[in-house]
C-alpha cells in the first residue's frame, strides 16, 4: 500500500494533466456539443491504462463506453458507473476562466465537468494504472459503464444495460462518486429515489381570445389549476388512491443512519429564506421526509402572456410539468396509470397526460458486505469515519444495476466537496481530493481479493 501511495504521489502532475485533457473536450449532452470528440479521448485514455473498451451505439443516442479489465485466474469482479456528459456552461460571464480550458489555481482545478463527473472517471482509471504498475497485475476484474446522457435523464441507458447485461455483471458497483462534506468526512450514499415526470396539457378555444370572453369561453389555465388541486392537498398528501400502498418505511438500521447524518436545519432554512419546514417537521423527522417521502412537485406552468405590463388575454392552451419523487417499491409505470385514471374519474379526462420519464427507486442495505468493505476502506484512507446516507433525495438510474442485476451499489470515494459548484459556473475540485480519491480506489482494488 505504501508503494501505491508513492506511485500516485510521484505521478500527481501527470494525473492532473490527464484530467485536464479530458475536461478540455466539451461533452454537453443537452446541446449535442463535442460528444464524439470526448468519447474518442476517453477511449484513448482507457486503453492507455490497460482497459479494453467496447463502444456501444444506438440510433439517436450518445454512445456508451464499456470497459473491461480481465486478469488471468481472477474470479472476483467490481464495477464502476460514470458519465462523460456535462451540463451547459451558462451563464458564461460568471466563469473566472473558460469552462473548457481548465486551470489549476489556489490548489483547485477549475473546469466544466471536473467534478461532475470526469474527475471521478480519471481517478478510477488512474487507480487501475497505479495498481497495475505497482503489483504487476490487477487482482480483480473490473467493469466500466460510462454513459453520455446522464445530464438529460439517461434516456437510452436502460436499453444499453439490458442489451449488455452479461458484459456488465459484477459483485458490487461504485456509482458516480460523491466526495467529502464540510468537515472533510467521506460521504457514502447507498441509493436514490425514483421519479415520474409528466406534462399535463389543457386546451381551450382555438386561438387566444380577448379576456372579455371569459364568461363564455373555457380558460385552460383554470382547468389545469382545478385539476392540480385534486392531485395534492394542502396537507401535502397526494390524493390519488393507492399512491402510498407500496411505500416501504425505512428500517431501524436506516433510521439510525439518518440520526447520525449531519444536518444543520437552521443553516438550511436560512439558506432558503424560510422559517419552518412543511408540516413543522424537525430533527430526524425532517430527514425521513427528505429521504423517504414521496412527493408531487410543480416544476413549471406555462399559459398566456408573461411579458412586462399587462395583456388581458384568455389563453388557448395551458401546460404544466410535474415531477413525482418515488421511494422504494413504488413503480413509475403503475403510478402513471393511476394518475391518468384518477384524472378521468375526477372529470378531467379532457386533459392530456404525457409521461416524460420514470425511474424506479433503489437502495442497498447498509449491512451488505460490499457496503461494509467500502466504508471500512474509506475510513482507513481518509482517517475518519464516513458519513453513510441510506438514500438520496434526488434520482439517478441506480435501479438498472441494483434492481435489474441484483447487485449492491455504493457511491463513495469521489473527488467532490461542498463548494465544487457542480452544474454552476466555476465548477472545481481540490487537487488533494482528486489525489486522495485515486489512493482510495487503488487501495480498494488492490485489497479486494484479500477481503475477509
Question: Mind listing the pLDDT tens digit for each residue in 239-292?
Answer: 999 999 999 999 999 999 999 988 889 989 998 999 999 999 999 999 999 999
Written as nine digits, the cell of 38 is 470526448
CATH topology of domain 193-247+293-359: Alpha-Beta Plaits (3.30.70)
Q: How confident is the model at residue 373 (pLDDT cuts 50, 70, 90)?
A: very high
**What is the residue extent of each domain of the chain?**
2-190+364-450, 193-247+293-359
Q: Can you tell me which residue has the cell 505497482?
A: 134
pTM of the model: 0.90
At residue 62, the pLDDT reads: 98
| Residues in Cβ contact with 14 at an 8 Å cutoff, skipping those fewer than 6 apart | none
| Helix/strand/coil (H/E/C) assignment for every residue in 88-139 | CCCCHHHCCCCCCCCEEECCEEECCCCCCCHHHHHHHHHHHHHHHHHHCCCC
Say which residues have a Cβ less than 8 Å from residue 166's Cβ, sequence separation at least 6. none
Query: Does 452 score more than 70 pLDDT?
Result: no
Residues 292 and 190: their CA atoms lie apart, in Å, by 13
Q: In which element (H, E) is residue 2 found?
A: helix 2-10
Count H helices and E strands in the chain, helices first: 14, 19
Whether the Cβ atoms of residue 386 and residue 413 lie closer than 8 Å to each other: no
Query: Are the C-beta atoms of residues 122 and 15 closer than 8 Å to each other?
Result: yes
d(CA 147, CA 164): 13
Q: Structurally, what CATH architecture does the domain formed by 2-190+364-450 represent?
A: 3-Layer(aba) Sandwich (3.40)
Please write the tens of the pLDDT for every residue from 110-122: 999 999 999 999 9
Buried b (16+ CB within 10 A) or exposed e, 55-85: ebeeeebbbbbbbbbebeebeebbbbbbbbb
pLDDT digits (tens, 9 = 90+) for 142-188: 999 999 999 998 999 999 999 999 999 999 999 998 999 999 999 99
pLDDT at 177: 85
Q: How far is CA 294 from the centre of its chain?
A: 17
Per-residue model confidence (pLDDT) at position 156: 96
Residues β-bridged to residue 197: 323, 357
> How far is it, in rounded angstroms, from Cα 283 to Cα 259?
8
Pick from 103, 102, 39, 16: nearest CA to 437: 16
**359-368, pLDDT tens digit by residue?**
999 999 999 9
- Triad 66, 398, 165: Cα angle to 5°: 40
Amino acid at each position: 500500500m505504501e508503494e501505491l501511495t508513492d506511485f500516485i504521489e510521484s505521478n500527481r502532475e501527470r494525473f492532473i494533466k490527464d484530467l485536464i485533457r479530458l475536461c478540455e473536450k466539451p461533452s454537453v449532452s443537452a446541446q449535442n456539443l463535442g460528444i464524439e470528440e470526448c468519447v474518442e479521448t476517453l477511449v484513448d485514455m482507457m486503453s492507455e491504462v490497460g482497459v479494453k473498451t467496447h463502444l456501444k451505439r444506438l440510433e439517436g443516442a450518445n454512445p456508451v463506453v464499456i470497459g473491461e479489465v480481465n486478469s488471468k485466474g481472477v474470479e472476483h469482479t467490481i464495477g464502476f458507473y460514470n458519465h462523460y456528459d456535462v451540463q451547459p456552461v451558462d451563464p458564461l460571464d460568471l466563469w473566472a476562466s473558460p469552462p473548457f480550458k481548465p486551470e489549476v489555481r489556489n490548489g483547485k482545478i477549475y473546469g466544466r465537468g471536473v467534478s461532475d463527473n470526469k474527475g471521478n472517471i480519471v481517478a478510477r482509471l488512474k487507480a487501475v494504472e497505479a495498481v497495475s504498475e505497482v503489483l504487476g497485475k490487477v487482482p480483480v476484474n473490473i467493469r466500466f459503464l460510462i454513459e453520455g446522457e446522464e445530464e438529460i435523464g439517461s434516456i437510452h441507458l436502460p436499453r444499453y444495460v439490458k442489451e449488455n447485461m452479461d458484459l456488465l455483471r459484477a459483485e458490487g458497483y461504485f456509482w458516480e462518486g460523491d466526495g467529502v462534506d464540510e468537515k472533510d468526512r467521506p460521504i457514502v450514499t447507498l441509493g436514490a429515489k425514483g421519479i415520474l415526470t409528466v406534462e399535463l396539457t389543457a386546451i381551450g378555444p382555438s386561438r387566444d381570445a380577448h379576456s372579455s370572453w371569459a364568461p363564455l369561453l373555457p380558460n385552460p389555465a383554470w382547468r389545469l389549476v382545478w385539476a392540480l388541486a385534486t392531485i395534492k392537498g394542502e396537507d401535502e398528501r397526494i390524493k390519488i388512491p393507492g399512491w402510498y400502498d407500496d411505500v416501504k418505511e425505512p428500517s431501524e438500521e436506516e433510521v439510525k443512519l439518518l440520526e447520525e447524518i449531519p444536518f444543520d436545519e437552521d443553516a438550511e432554512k436560512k439558506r432558503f429564506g424560510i422559517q419552518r419546514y412543511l408540516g413543522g417537521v424537525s430533527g430526524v423527522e425532517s430527514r425521513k421526509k427528505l429521504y423517504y417521502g414521496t412527493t408531487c412537485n410543480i416544476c413549471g406552468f406555462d399559459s398566456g402572456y408573461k411579458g412586462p405590463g399587462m395583456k388581458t388575454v384568455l389563453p388557448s392552451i395551458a401546460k404544466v410539468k410535474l415531477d413525482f419523487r418515488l421511494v422504494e417499491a413504488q413503480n413509475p409505470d403503475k403510478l402513471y396509470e393511476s394518475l391518468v385514471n384518477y384524472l378521468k374519474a375526477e372529470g378531467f379526462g379532457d386533459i392530456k397526460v404525457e409521461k416524460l420519464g420514470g425511474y424506479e427507486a433503489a437502495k442497498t442495505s447498509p449491512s451488505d458486505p460490499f457496503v461494509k468493505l467500502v466504508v471500512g476502506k474509506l475510513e482507513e484512507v481518509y482517517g475518519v469515519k464516513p458519513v453513510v446516507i441510506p438514500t438520496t433525495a434526488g434520482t439517478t438510474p441506480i435501479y438498472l444495476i441494483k434492481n435489474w442485476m441484483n447487485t449492491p451499489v455504493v457511491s463513495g470515494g469521489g473527488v467532490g466537496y461542498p463548494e465544487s459548484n457542480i452544474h454552476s459556473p466555476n465548477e472545481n475540485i481540490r487537487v488533494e481530493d482528486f489525489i486522495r480519491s485515486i489512493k482510495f480506489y487503488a487501495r480498494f482494488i488492490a485489497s479486494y481479493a484479500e477481503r475477509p
